[in-house]
Amino acid sequence: MHNVFGVDDDAIVTEFFDNIICHQLPVNDLELQKVVNRQIHWHSHTCRNKSKNECSFNYPKPPMGATEIFNPLENNTF
């Protein structure tokens, strides 16, 4: 059974995600470690605020408490 975003109920899709995705770094899979490391924010000179030693992009960000699906805003929202 496939769960389809935009077709199935969001609760069903998020439950599917929760069953297959975790927020732990892989230990024994070097290829997967490479993929995960591409998704991690590594500080560089562009993200350091000159007056403070903090990231301009507000990283690190804590993981969300629950899986959520964010739908795009309608064009007339602004």
Reported as a single tens digit per residue, the pLDDT across 10-54 is 888 888 888 888 777 788 889 988 888 887 888 888 887 666 778
Range of the domain at 44: 25-64
Q: Is residue 48, in this structure, part of any structural domain at all?
A: yes
Q: Is residue 71, in this structure, part of any structural domain at all?
A: no
Q: Is residue 34, in this structure, part of any structural domain at all?
A: yes
Instruction: Answer whether residue 55 shows pLDDT above 70.
Output: yes
Q: Is residue 14, in this structure, part of any structural domain at all?
A: no
Cβ proximity of 14 and 69 under 8 Å = yes
Rounded to an integer, what distance in angstroms lies between the CA atom of residue 72 and that of residue 75? 9
Question: Per the confidence metrics, is the pTM higher than 0.85?
Answer: no
Q: Is residue 13, in this structure, part of any structural domain at all?
A: no
Number of independent structural domains in the chain: 1
Instruction: Give the model's pLDDT for residue 1.
Output: 60
Q: Is residue 11, in this structure, part of any structural domain at all?
A: no
Rounded to an integer, what distance in angstroms lies between the CA atom of residue 43 and that of residue 50? 13
Q: Is residue 18, in this structure, part of any structural domain at all?
A: no
Dihedral sign, Cα of residue 6, residue 32, residue 41, residue 46: negative
Q: Is residue 56, in this structure, part of any structural domain at all?
A: yes
Cβ proximity of 51 and 35 under 8 Å = no
